[in-house]
């Protein structure tokens, strides 16, 4: 017997937040998850879904608000869930993130360590350097912006809390003008039309903008005229890319790309290291906080100049190159070929000849390095959300690398991986960094050193 039913309306005390930022209330120990509810609040909810071990509730009213509750900065965006923590004060968000790391380490990692307070932004708005806007038609009008969470309904976005203001202006210009060039938005259901997504990226320091038009077909007679007028209206756009994605798929980018205007990349700086970024390469989306993140890595690395460093999951080489001046050699490994090409180009761009980059899986390439007798003083791992492959962790242990810096974007896989390393490596410092204000995502840097046995 479950203690609640769908449709039931009840009052609840919120006791905690889930890792997705939903409030948790309990009826006889049975958890109910409620979006936009905060700890220490009393709320009225309607039960909307019942599962085996939990229920979902919709908030009807906040009866007693938390002192941490703030009025969302942009009601519309908030309603659509793009920023699921906007109702929580920024200090409250940082506390939530610190706690999230600590709790994951304890619960999943069986590790009880101090976690430094999460490093936040002075002005946590309009921080993104990359935005992807889906385009579509509704009632004879173009809409573009974001998918409503969990659906393919397009929300028409005309202002944003987290996107760059110029980026929003470019997106709105495209929405206003594109039909005049007979460029019709894509329709998912009939798999017809042309424009699927507009992806806009910029260099925070250089103010160079790249516009990628993701299209179903490259048969677009008036495209040249459109691009000419786009760059006239926005001279900061130094690169326009046509990305062709002819498939029925949720993936944004297709394989084929054509440069319509300017270069195939834009530039940016982190500190005084310069990076060229092409349309498909991973580059952290919050440049202000990327510097904070990499400075934390640099502080943990505490380099003397004679270290050999492995940069695993290196993307376009950013972390390794950020440290290259203070190190003897950097060996980067990354699975995406284009990113490795960017990394090599970026090493040359900065005049570093001590940085080497290889395409492949970190768990395979580093094992080969071990078999070739390569020795490293420090390995930095920065895996995607699913964390490190266990073979990589085994190799790190076997290579007896003295120090490990783990950069993680997912506290639960971080905790799982640290648990696997815990008999071999001791943790010195854990530092969360807020790269994604107003969302429940958190980035975290951990410094470890080999246990002497």
- Give the footprint of ligand SAH on this chain (CB under 6 A): 282-284, 313-315, 318-319, 333-336, 339, 361-363, 382, 384, 389
Which residue, 330 or 421, is less far from ligand SAH as judged by CB? 330
Q: CA torsion angle for 86, 208, 158, 142 (degrees, to 10)?
A: -140
The H or E element containing residue 182 is none
> Backbone phi, then psi, for 414, in 5-degree steps?
-60, -50
Q: How far is the CB of 280 from ligand SAH (least distance, A)?
A: 10
Which residue, 339 or 347, is less far from ligand SAH as judged by CB? 339
Strand partners for 256: 244
5 Cβ contact partners less than 8 Å away, ≥ 6 residues apart: 47, 50
Q: How far is the CB of 91 from ligand SAH (least distance, A)?
A: 27
Q: How far is the CB of 340 from ligand SAH (least distance, A)?
A: 9
Q: What distance, in Å, lies between the first and last C-alpha atoms of the chain? A: 53
Q: How far is the CB of 350 from ligand SAH (least distance, A)?
A: 15
Query: Which one of 83, 118, 409, 444 is the catalytic residue?
Result: 409
| Residue 84 Cα distances to 36, 262, 437, angstroms | 7, 37, 10
Q: How far is the CB of 262 from ligand SAH (least distance, A)?
A: 23
Strand partners for 396: none
Which residue, 193 or 315, is less far from ligand SAH as judged by CB? 315
Both structure tokens of 377: 């003083």
336 Cβ contact partners less than 8 Å away, ≥ 6 residues apart: 280, 281, 282, 315, 359
For the question of residue 409 being annotated catalytic, the response is: yes
Cα separation, 329 vs 320, whole angstroms: 9
Which residue, 213 or 312, is less far from ligand SAH as judged by CB? 312
Q: How far is the CB of 109 from ligand SAH (least distance, A)?
A: 21
Q: Which of 55, 59, 28 is nearest to 43 (CA)?
A: 59
Cβ–Cβ < 8 Å for 124, 438 = yes
Strand partners for 401: none
Cα separation, 43 vs 27, whole angstroms: 13
Which residue, 78 or 436, is less far from ligand SAH as judged by CB? 436
Which residue, 307 or 382, is less far from ligand SAH as judged by CB? 382
DSSP state of 109: T
Q: Which residues are catalytic?
A: 409
């Amino acid at each position: 017997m479950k203690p609640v039913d769908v449709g039931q309306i009840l009052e609840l005390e919120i006791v905690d937040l889930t890792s997705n930022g939903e409030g948790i209330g309990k009826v006889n120990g049975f958890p109910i998850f409620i979006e936009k509810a905060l700890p220490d609040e009393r709320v009225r909810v309607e039960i909307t879904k019942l599962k085996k071990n939990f229920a979902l509730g919709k908030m009807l009213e906040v009866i007693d608000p938390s002192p941490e509750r703030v009025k969302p900065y942009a009601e519309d965006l908030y309603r659509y869930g793009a920023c699921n923590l906007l109702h929580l004060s920024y200090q409250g968000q940082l506390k939530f993130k610190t706690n999230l790391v600590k709790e994951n380490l304890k619960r999943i990692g069986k590790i009880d360590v101090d976690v430094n307070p999460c490093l936040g932004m002075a002005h946590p708005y309009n921080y993104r350097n990359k935005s992807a806007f889906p385009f579509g038609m509704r009632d004879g009008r173009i809409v573009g912006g974001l998918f409503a969470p969990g659906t393919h309904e397009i929300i028409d976005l005309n202002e944003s809390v987290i996107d760059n203001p110029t980026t929003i202006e470019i997106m709105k210009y495209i929405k206003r003008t594109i039909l005049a060039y007979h460029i019709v938005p894509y329709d998912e259901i009939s798999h017809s039309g042309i424009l699927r997504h507009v992806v806009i990226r910029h260099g925070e320091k250089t103010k160079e903008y790249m516009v990628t038009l993701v299209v179903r077909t490259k048969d677009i007679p008036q495209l040249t005229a459109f691009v000419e007028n786009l760059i006239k209206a926005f001279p900061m756009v130094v690169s326009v890319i046509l990305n062709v994605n002819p498939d029925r798929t949720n993936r944004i980018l297709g394989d084929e790309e054509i440069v319509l205007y300017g270069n195939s990349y834009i530039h940016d700086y982190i500190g005084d290291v310069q990076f060229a970024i092409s349309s498909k390469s991973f580059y952290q989306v919050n440049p202000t906080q990327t510097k904070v993140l990499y400075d934390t890595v640099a502080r943990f690395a505490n380099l003397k100049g004679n270290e050999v460093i492995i940069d695993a999951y290196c993307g376009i080489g950013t972390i390794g190159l950020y440290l290259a001046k203070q190190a003897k050699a950097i060996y980067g490994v990354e699975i995406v070929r284009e990113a490795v090409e960017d990394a090599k180009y970026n090493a040359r761009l900065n005049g570093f000849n001590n940085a080497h980059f290889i395409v492949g899986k970190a768990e395979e390439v580093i094992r080969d390095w071990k078999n070739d007798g390569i020795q490293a003083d420090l390995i930095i791992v920065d895996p995607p959300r699913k964390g490190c492959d266990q073979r990589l962790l085994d190799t790190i242990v076997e290579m007896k690398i003295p120090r490990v810096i783990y950069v993680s974007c997912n506290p639960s896989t971080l905790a799982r991986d640290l648990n696997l390393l815990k008999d071999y490596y001791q943790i010195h410092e854990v530092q969360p960094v807020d790269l994604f204000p107003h969302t429940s995502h958190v980035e975290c840097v951990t410094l470890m050193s080999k246990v002497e046995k």
